[in-house]
Amino acid sequence: MRYNLLDTTGLIKTPRPVAAEPIATTRQPQPVGPEMIDPFGRAITYLRVSVTDRCDFRCVYCMAEDMTFLPKRDLLTLEELDRLATAFVEKGVKKLRLTGGEPLVRKNIMHLIRSLSRHLDSGALQELTLTTNGSQLTRFASELADCGVKRLNVSLDTLDPDKFREITRWGELDQVMKGIRAAQDAGIHIKLNAVALKGFNDAEIPSMIEWAHGEGMDFTLIETMPMGEIDEDRTDRYLPLSQVRTDLSERWTLDDIPFKTGGPARYVEIAETGGRLGFITPMTHNFCESCNRVRVTCTGTLFMCLGQEDAADLRAPLRASEGNELLSHAIDEAIGRKPKGHDFIIDRATKRPSVSRHMSVTGG
Ligand code: SAM
Ligand code: SF4
């Protein structure tokens, strides 16, 4: 049976949680310095921080079931993550997205979010946001809103509870639906992200779009990317979004619109539903020319491109001194070698993933 929000009873109202104390950081944000410009003239204004590689789901396209996670001692502390993100804000980052793994399973994550929200208050940061699987939102939605989080990306690949369990291995659709409703009740705008998977959710895509638009949510489709070894062959599931778009065009009127959220999605408006549909097409349409982002992992490794192995260690300079000079220098040096684009390939001849790390290391 399909999941229908109208059938859902018991959409619980969470009590407003007690606000977390801000992290005691000795450094206040400094005046914003010169922009980070990469060798291709792109200004880097968007940082994604993966705060944990752990997750309470095991989505089949993302992780193997028996994933080995990093030992806790290798992770940056919340104070170090704060210092690192703050250094980027001082260097011109305007948009900060926390991701994972599942960011909301990191212990005391609200301390970090509360602390980072000071950059919204100061105006240095324009947006603080998260990508989440939604499983913890009933618990955290109102506090996130209180910290100035205005938008969330929630990943949802199906509205069918059985299929949801199949794709996430460990997830419960009802829990996520309650989380989405809690976030909406807290005034947070939700964008749903779905990975398009052949033979899994292709037939369901139109009804998911109709449902999301009916609930006032944007909807974005993502092509599966060859990142990390998983338990199945990704070629079996790969569904080019050019094909999905063609199919949707036969049903609806899709108008290209210049709408941007700072990410790589290209948007259309669907006349019949009145909502926005985004396409993230790393495989069929390279979006690298407008790339404005870099990603840092929970161990302080900076990846200048999601689809390349080259990385810079920021943990050593972060820990080497209390000041940020070494860190700032390491960031500049890394931005100076940001590549032009990625090398993703999905075909039957390429048996190994293009990038050996899983998406849960750098986050989406
Ligand atoms: N756990 C959170 C979530 O699921 O939203 C945040 C991290 S998750 C790695 C971020 C996004 O990456 C999700 O939307 C997920 O569907 C997507 N993703 C994971 N593995 C992927 C892959 N191999 N190709 C394309 N998208 C992937
Ligand atoms: Fe967890 Fe997100 Fe990966 Fe699913 S996609 S396993 S929710 S990190």
- Assess whether pLDDT exceeds 80 at residue 138: yes
49, 54, 131, best to mutate for ligand 1 pocket (most atoms within 8 Å of CB): 131
Location of structure tokens 């980027």: 88
Q: What is the whole-number distance in angstroms between the Cα of residue 27 and the centre of ligand 1? A: 33
Q: What is the whole-number distance in angstroms between the Cα of residue 26 and the centre of ligand 2? A: 34
Which is more confidently placed, 359 or 276?
A: 276
pLDDT for 200: 95
Average pLDDT over residues 273-301: 87
- Assess whether pLDDT exceeds 80 at residue 61: yes
55, 359, 360, 362, best to mutate for ligand 1 pocket (most atoms within 8 Å of CB): 359
Which is more confidently placed, 152 or 15?
A: 152
Q: What is the whole-number distance in angstroms between the Cα of residue 238 and the centre of ligand 1? A: 15
Q: What is the whole-number distance in angstroms between the Cα of residue 359 and the centre of ligand 1? A: 6
Query: Band of the pLDDT at 238, cuts 50, 70, 90?
Result: confident
Q: Which residues of 168-192 are buried (b: 16+ CB within 10 A; e: fewer)?
A: beebebebbbbbbbbbbebebebbb
Question: Fold for domain 46-362?
Answer: TIM Barrel (3.20.20)
Pocket of ligand 1 (CB under 6 A): 55, 61-62, 99-100, 102, 131-133, 155, 193, 195, 222, 224-225, 227, 359-360, 363-364
Region of 69 on the Ramachandran plot (φ > 0 left; ψ -120 to 50 alpha; else beta): beta
Integer Cα distance of 59 and 156 in angstroms: 11
Q: What is the whole-number distance in angstroms between the Cα of residue 313 and the centre of ligand 2? A: 24
Which of 302, 292, 263 is closest to 81 using CA atoms?
302
Going by the DSSP 8-state scheme, the letter that residue 58 receives in this structure is -
Q: What is the pTM of this model?
A: 0.87
Average pLDDT over residues 31-49: 85
- Assess whether pLDDT exceeds 60 at residue 164: yes
Integer Cα distance of 155 and 35 in angstroms: 31
Which of 92, 154, 101, 127 is closest to 292 using CA atoms?
92
Integer Cα distance of 296 and 192 in angstroms: 23
Q: How many helices (H) and strands (E) does the chain have?
A: 11, 14
Average pLDDT over residues 268-280: 97
Integer Cα distance of 264 and 46 in angstroms: 11
- Assess whether pLDDT exceeds 60 at residue 6: no
Integer Cα distance of 229 and 117 in angstroms: 36
Q: What is the CA 200 to chain-centroid distance, rounded?
A: 22
Average pLDDT over residues 19-29: 47
CA distances to 69, 150, 184, 342, 349 from 143, in Å: 28, 11, 13, 37, 48
H/E run at residue 223? strand 218-223
Domain chopping of the chain, boundaries:
46-362
User: Which residue puts its alpha carbon closest to atom 26 of ligand 1?
Assistant: 224
Location of structure tokens 């998983």: 230
pLDDT for 1: 35
Q: Which ligand 2 atom sits nearest the alpha carbon of residue 360?
A: 8
Q: What is the whole-number distance in angstroms between the Cα of residue 198 and the centre of ligand 1? A: 16
Q: Is the CB of 51 under 6 A from ligand 2?
A: no
User: Which residue puts its alpha carbon closest to atom 3 of ligand 2?
Assistant: 62
pLDDT for 207: 97
Q: Is the CB of 179 under 6 A from ligand 2?
A: no
